[in-house]
Each structure stands twice: as C-alpha cells, then as structure tokens.
C-alpha cells in the first residue's frame, strides 16, 4: 500500500511539473514571436549590432545608442510601437538571415548591406544609408592619399569581413593585411604603429573615431572604395511590412530626424555623410 501511495504521489508530481513547464513554454513562445501579431500591447523584437560605436552599441549600463538604433526606434514608432515596447536583440553578421527567417526578430537594422545573395533569403527595405569602404589612419599620417598607396602599407580589418576580402582580392592585393577578431583590436595596433590603417565602412570607422577616448587620435582618409547601401532586413515576401518601413524611412528623412541622427552619432569624427539615398527596394 505504502509503495502504491508513493507512486501515485510521484505520478501527480510529475504530471503537475509537466503541465507547469508546458504553461511556461507556451508563454515564452508567445513572447519570442518577434511581435508578429502586431497588437498595441505586444513587444517588437529588432536586431541590431551590439558592438559598433556610433551605429549600434550596447553600453555597460544596458542602454542602446547609435544611428541604427535611432533608425530602428523611429521605424518602430511608425509601426505603432513605443520605445519601451522595443526589445533589441544582437544580430551577429553571420546570423542575420537565420534570425529573420526563423522569426526571432521582426526586422534588422545592423549595417546590413543590400546584395543579391542576401536577397535570396531575406527582403530589404530602404536603403536608409549609403556608406563607402574607407580607411582610418593616425591623425598625423598624410602618407596615404589614394588606393594604390595601400600596396606598401600594413592594413588591419576584421576576420572574414567583406572589407578584408575586398582588399585581398581587388583593392590592394600586395598590402600586408592583418585580420583581427574585432575593430577594437585593430585600433590597438593602429595606435602603437604596428599597422598603418584600419579599413571598413566609413560609417563604422567614424563611429570609432567619434568615441570619447579616441577623439583627435585618428582621422578618415575619405577614399570611396566601394558602395554599401544599408537596408533594413525583413522576412522574405512580407510586402506589407516592407512598404510600411519604406514609408517610415521616407518620413524620417523628410522631417529632418534622419540628418539629426547622423549628426548626433557620427558627427564628432568630422565625417561628411552622403545625403539620404533613394529608396529602391520593393517599389
């Protein structure tokens, strides 16, 4: 008798815990839906970079700053979400397509260049920004004025990035290229004169040069070595959202918030931005 009682109690306990976890599970699913249902009380999940000053940066106190963050906030507002309803999620470059197609995020604003390969898996809205591959050098360095100068220089970029590949294959195959895990590591080398220049999109470089601790140490050379049209990535085939985001971007440029966001986040580096690009996607 005793045994069967214990067994019954155990069975009840197991059943209870199962239902409890089932409840928790389904609740969690609803919350991580990426705000697909779009109701006023729901949250919207937006993918940004967490490690790019000036564009998308998570500060030590848990806040988010940068141009991409401002764009994301503006677009979300136009879609009917207040700033406190936005949940930012880190979108590492290699994971962006998966985050979108799995529905983990509603859209991604993360220095996401529009190209045909990416369009096979996701759709874009925008572009909302035109950047060029450029060089960051020490403020007193005047030895680099054109792309050919790079063949005799030591360059630094991030492992596997489009900019690094562009240097290796097209721009300056003879340049001594160091590939590091992140741009901060490159800055260490640049400051210690182990490398002569750091290369990637000028918007990202401007973000680093504009950081408080780097002010006055570095400058942009101003070479336009490529065109990078940043778009907002979203689920393939979601025409409705694409149209809405395009409208929001247009409005952001027209009412001046776009220029204000650029000046605030990238301005201190003495960076001359391109005017807001024409929207080309999904028209």
Partner 1 sequence: MFDFLDSGQYDVLGAFWVTVQLTLYSAVGSLIWGTVLAGMRVSPVPLLRGFGTAYVNLVRNTPLTLLIIGCSLGLSQTLGINLGGETFKETGFRLAVLGLVAYTGTFVCEALRSGINTVPVGQAEAARALGLSFFQVLTLIVLPQAFRAVVAPLANVLIALTKNTTVAATIGVAEAALLMKEMLENEAQAVFAVFAVFALGFVLLTLPTGLLLGWVAKRVAVKR
Interface with partner 1 by CB under 8 A: which residues? 93-94, 96-98, 117-118, 120-121, 154, 159-162, 164-165, 176-181, 185, 188-189, 192, 194-195
Nearer to partner 1, 76 or 195 (CB): 195
Nearer to partner 1, 112 or 271 (CB): 112
Least distance (Å) between residue 129 CB and partner 1: 19
Nearer to partner 1, 46 or 122 (CB): 122
Nearer to partner 1, 48 or 249 (CB): 48
Nearer to partner 1, 149 or 176 (CB): 176
Least distance (Å) between residue 28 CB and partner 1: 25
Q: Please give, one letter per residue, the 3-state secondary structure of the chain.
A: CHHHHHHHHHHHHHHHHHHHHHHHHHHHHHHCCCCCCCCCCCCEEEEECCEECCCEEECCCCCEECHHHHHHHHHHHHCCCCHHHEEEEECCHHHHHHHHHCCCCCEECCCCECCHHHHCCEEEEEEEEEECEEEEEECCCCCCCCHHHHHHCEEEEECCCHHHHHHHHHHCCCCEEEEECCHHHHHHHHHCCCCCEEEEEHHHHHHHHCCHHHCCCEEECCCCCCCEEEEEEEECCCHHHHHHHHHHHHHHHHCCHHHHHHHHHHHHHCCCCCCCCCCCCCC
Phi and psi torsions of 141, nearest 5°: -90, 120
Least distance (Å) between residue 104 CB and partner 1: 14
Beta partners for residue 273, in sequence order: none
CA–CA gap between residue 120 and residue 103 (Å, rounded): 16
CA–CA gap between residue 278 and residue 270 (Å, rounded): 24
Least distance (Å) between residue 118 CB and partner 1: 6
Least distance (Å) between residue 137 CB and partner 1: 16
Least distance (Å) between residue 117 CB and partner 1: 6
Least distance (Å) between residue 159 CB and partner 1: 5
Nearer to partner 1, 165 or 226 (CB): 165
Nearer to partner 1, 184 or 270 (CB): 184
CA–CA gap between residue 68 and residue 50 (Å, rounded): 10
């Amino acid at each position: 008798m005793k045994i069967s009682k214990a067994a019954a109690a155990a069975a009840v306990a197991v059943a209870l815990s199962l239902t409890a976890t089932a409840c928790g599970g389904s609740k969690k699913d609803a919350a991580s839906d990426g705000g697909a249902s779009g109701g006023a009380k729901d949250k919207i999940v937006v993918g940004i970079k967490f490690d790019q000053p000036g564009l998308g940066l998570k500060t030590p106190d848990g806040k988010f700053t940068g141009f991409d963050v401002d764009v994301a906030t503006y677009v979300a507002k136009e879609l009917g979400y207040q700033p406190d309803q936005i949940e930012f999620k880190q979108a590492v470059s290699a994971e962006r397509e998966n985050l979108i197609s799995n529905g983990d995020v509603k859209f991604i604003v993360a220095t996401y260049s529009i190209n045909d390969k990416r369009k096979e898996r996701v759709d874009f809205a925008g572009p909302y920004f035109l950047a060029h591959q450029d060089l960051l050098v020490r403020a007193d360095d005047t030895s680099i004025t054109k792309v050919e100068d790079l063949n005799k220089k030591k360059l630094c970029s991030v492992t596997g990035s489009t900019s690094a590949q562009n240097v290796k294959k097209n721009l300056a195959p003879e340049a001594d290229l160091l590939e590091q895990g992140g741009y901060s590591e490159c800055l260490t080398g640049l400051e210690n004169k182990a490398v002569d220049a750091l290369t990637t999109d000028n918007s990202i470089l401007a973000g680093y040069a504009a950081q408080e601790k780097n002010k006055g140490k570095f400058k942009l050379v101003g070479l336009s070595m490529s065109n990078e049209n940043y778009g907002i990535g979203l689920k393939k085939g979601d025409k409705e959202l694409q149209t809405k985001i395009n409208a929001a971007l247009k409005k952001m440029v027209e009412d001046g918030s776009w220029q204000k966001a650029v000046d605030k986040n990238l301005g201190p580096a003495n960076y001359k931005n391109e005017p807001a690009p024409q929207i080309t996607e999904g028209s």
